[in-house]
Amino acid sequence: MNASEIEGNGVKHNSKLDSVLGFISDNQIVKVIRWGLLYNMPLIMVGALVIMVLNLPIVQFSDALTALFGENWQTLCLLIHKGTYRIMSLSTLLAVSYSLVRDYNDSKFENQNHMITVLTALACYVIISPETGQPLDETYTGTTSMLRAILVALLASYLFLFLSTHLPRRKKLYTYNADALLVTSLSSVVPVLLTIATFALARIVIDVTGLSSSASAAGSAMLEVLFQHGRSLWTVILYCLLSHLLWFIGIHGTNIMESIAQELFVTATDTNLALVAAGAAPTEIFTKEFMDVFIFMGGAGCTLGLLIALFLTGHISRANGIAHYSIFPGIFNINESIVYGLPIIFNPYYIIPFLATPIALGISSFIAFSSGLVPLTTVRVAWTTPIFISGYVSTGSVAGLVLQVVNLVISILIYFPFVRLYEKQMSRNNAKLFQQITQEYDNVDPNHPPRLLERNDEIGVLVRALASELREALSGKDIGLYMAFQPKSFFDGTVFGAEALLRWNHPRYGHISPPVTLGIANEAGLTIPLGTWVLEASLAGLTEMHALGYMITLSVNLSPNQIRTDELLPQQISDSIQLHKLDPSYLELELTEHTAMDQSQATRNRMEQLKALGVSISIDDFGMGSSSLLYLRDFYANIVKLDLSLVQTLDSSQYSQEIVRSIVTLCGQLKVELIAEGVETQVQLQALQAMGCYRYQGWYFSKALPLEDFLEYAKAHGVVAQPPHPIES
């Protein structure tokens, strides 16, 4: 499966814009920043909740909290805010540094210590931050210094990792008695020293040259020049553009531009209020309420429109999960969870709509107010007042509410195509991850099975999502899990039996191979529930076959884990046979895997119990291994299936031919039924018949089919309830 197969409907991945955005999004630095912000999500969500509680514009709500908890409830919220938003730059620094070293280890195969790298980046951040009389001022730990924190995390971590990798190491540190962490710490002393010294030197240069104060003065002067013409539509557009550019690169644009907002928009609100109080008509369009109520709906960038656009796509993705958590704070114009969690900052897919939406809403609102369609704002409204309420209250008119509806629709329309592009990029990334997962499970070493479920990277997240969906499927939810039936045939194509095979047609990833499904089930502890589901679905299919007169046998696979660990397996199979009113002789239990089965007494007893039910036992992938012969020796198996590799090398290997002849002879002497699976060509079929093997299964006859298709196949090719005498060659 490739990425294009799971993109679904919509525009194909052929636009130059999508290609450029995808290239930027896949850049290592962009991915590292995105991962670092996602690590911060718990703090962001908690901080957003506290801000909402503190600023909720409902007096009764505050009074109720005071009545329940006293005045200290606000102190509690402020302390939580201190531990979340007021350390956001610091936590982002640590998370981005950790993400970088994790990705560096994966790509460079270097065993660098995560904690040493992170601590080095923290030390560099403390050094590079200006002196304020304390190690770290809130100015450099809160949301306003996100860009500084991200840059230091990247530069310091890259420098430390480069030095750690390329500097010669002193071999005498590596002794047999040395503690591993001690060795790593000692070998990191020089790289840490050089990294910290580099940032200390940079701090000295900045202080001596006055670069920091010069840059700050230049920024202030530029803002004064840009906004010297007072309030106008151009001023609003420029304000939105600059503040949102700052947001996009990780700087809290609203806080940075606060002085401009106070001078331009807050004073305009005061002017209108004074005029109304004096009995005059208001004159100012561009008030603080104009900005908060009609442009920043849902927060900076009008992200309420983005949240709705995410829901409208209907896709199941991480973005939609974040949208579910962000919609309630977004109603109160608190959007840090979507800005940092999606994320919007440093996300090339959202830079255009994030910048364009506020500008478009500023223009539409200006037209509505200047034309008289909507009364000017004359009531001061808290910035957390929900949409529609704020529009009505600030203008004293339903027209204000209608304008918010129009602006919200405009924002959705702007965001929607970019949401689709981003979702397709996420699908492509997930397709790549899914291919890696498939390779891991398809090439599994039985002695060292993968533990993907425990991984803390994107692969681990995807495997856990698949495991959750598999669990839902076993509880009755339809996500494409079903049983297919592959015919077992004689030389002329007549059907005498079938094998029930598990299939998973995932709504997003398409066909998931059985090794992946079984691997996820094993890791998630779902082997026994999955085995139960397979048995019930298989017997239901067999019941329908018999009801239509097709009296054939059906083989159902059992995993070694079921045999070893499920004490209730024999009773469960017995109950299922009775429930479906089946003759047990029509059921074959097929044991899979090449490796030797557990020969403990408990397992042997379970095998005896299964045989006592009257069912047949089949050995899959039968060769000349010890496990296969042991099951024949102990009279557990009365059916064997030739190893696929033997069948497929019959026309090229004399050894395979001799082994097959030996197995045919052995089965004939022991009166054990022999089936050749994996038959794909007529040459293989004729060779097997010549050697005395008369029962076959494979794509030469048919692939595994859904039940309805299998019944059609059986009808077309004929069914025999009892196997005929061997056909003489």
DSSP structure string for 426-437 = HHHHHHHHHHHH
Report which of residues 157 and 110 the model is more confident about.
157
Q: What is the mean pLDDT of residues 203-227?
A: 74
Residue 504 near residue 511 (C-beta atoms within 8 A)? yes
3-state per-residue secondary structure call for 523-553: HCCCHHHHHHHHHHHHHHHHHHHHHCCCCCE
Distances (CA, A) of 605 to 234, 555, 578, 590, 608: 85, 21, 22, 17, 5
What is the Cα–Cα distance from 243 to 28, expressed in whole angstroms?
Answer: 26
Residue 268 has pLDDT above 90, yes or no: yes
The 3-state secondary structure of 190-236, one letter per residue: HHHHHHHHHHHHHHHHHHHHCHHHHHHHHHHHHHHHHCCCCCCHHHH
pLDDT attached to residue 23: 74
> Higher model confidence: residue 18 or residue 662?
662
CA angle 406, 412, 413 (to 5 degrees): 90
What one-character DSSP code corresponds to residue 689? H
Burial class (CB in 10 A: 0-12, 13-18, 19+), 29: middle
Q: Per-residue pLDDT for 361 more than 90?
A: yes
Element housing 341 (H / E): helix 336-341
Q: The tokens 């560099």 sit on which residue?
A: 124
Q: Band of the pLDDT at 672, cuts 50, 70, 90?
A: confident
In terms of C-beta density within 10 A (0-12 exposed, 13-18 middle, 19 or more buried), how is residue 182 classed? exposed
Respond yes or no on whether the N-terminal peptide bond of residue 358 is cis (omega within 30° of 0).
no
Least confident stretch, 7-16, 182-191, 366-375: 7-16
Q: Mean pLDDT throughout 584-601?
A: 72
Q: Are 287 and 269 in contact (CB under 8 A)?
A: yes
C-alpha to C-alpha distances, 206 to 134, 137, 317, nearest whole angstrom = 19, 18, 44
Strand partners, 499: 486, 555
Cα three-residue angle 403-404-410, rounded to 5 degrees: 90
Q: Could you tell me how far CA 524 lies from the centroid of its own chain? A: 17
The gap from C-alpha 676 to its chain's centroid, in whole angstroms, comes to 41
Please indicate whether residue 643 or residue 517 has the higher confidence score (pLDDT).
Answer: 517
Contact 40, 91 (CB under 8 A): yes
**What Å distances lie between residue 713 and 280, 494, 556, CA to CA?**
87, 10, 20
Q: For 712, phi and psi rounded to 5 degrees?
A: -65, -40
Q: Please, what CATH class does the domain formed by 479-717 belong to?
A: alpha beta
CA distance 161 to 138: 29
Query: Residue 539 in contact with residue 485, Cβ under 8 Å?
Result: no
CA pair distance 495, 716, nearest whole angstrom = 10
pLDDT confidence tier of residue 222, bands split at 50, 70 and 90 = low
Q: Which amino acid is at 354?
A: F
Neighbours of 544 (CB within 10 A): 15
Answer yes or no: is pLDDT of 653 > 80: yes
pLDDT at residue 151 in the model: 92
Higher pLDDT, 15 or 362: 362
The CATH 3.20.20.450 portion of the chain extends over: 479-717
Distance CA 621, CA 646 (A): 9
pLDDT digits (tens, 9 = 90+) for 46-63: 888 888 888 877 788 888
Count of C-beta atoms within a 10 Å radius of residue 621: 20
Which DSSP letter does residue 621 get? E
Give the highest mean pLDDT range of 453-462, 496-505, 622-631: 496-505
Residues 6+ apart with CB under 8 A from 187: 164, 169, 170, 173
Per-residue pLDDT reduced to its tens digit, 679-698: 999 999 999 999 999 999 99
CA pair distance 238, 379, nearest whole angstrom = 25
pLDDT classification of 192: cutoffs 50, 70, 90? very high
Q: Is 444 exposed, middle or buried (0-12, 13-18, 19+ CB in 10 A)?
A: middle
Mean pLDDT of the chain: 84
661's CB contacts (< 8 A; 6+ apart) are 691, 692
What does the alpha-carbon distance between residue 726 and residue 689 come to, in Å, rounded to a whole number?
9
Rounded Cα distance between 501 and 704, Å, is 7
Contacts 24+ apart (CB under 8 A), 678-686: 678/642, 678/644, 678/647, 678/648, 679/647, 680/648, 681/651, 683/650, 683/651, 684/647, 684/648, 684/650, 684/651, 685/491
Beta bridge partners of 591: 558, 619
β-pairing, 553-558 vs 495-506, is parallel
Spatial separation of the C-alpha atoms in residues 546 and 584, rounded to whole Å: 13
Average pLDDT over residues 18-27: 76
pTM value is 0.71
Most confident of 179-183, 338-342, 441-445, 586-590: 586-590
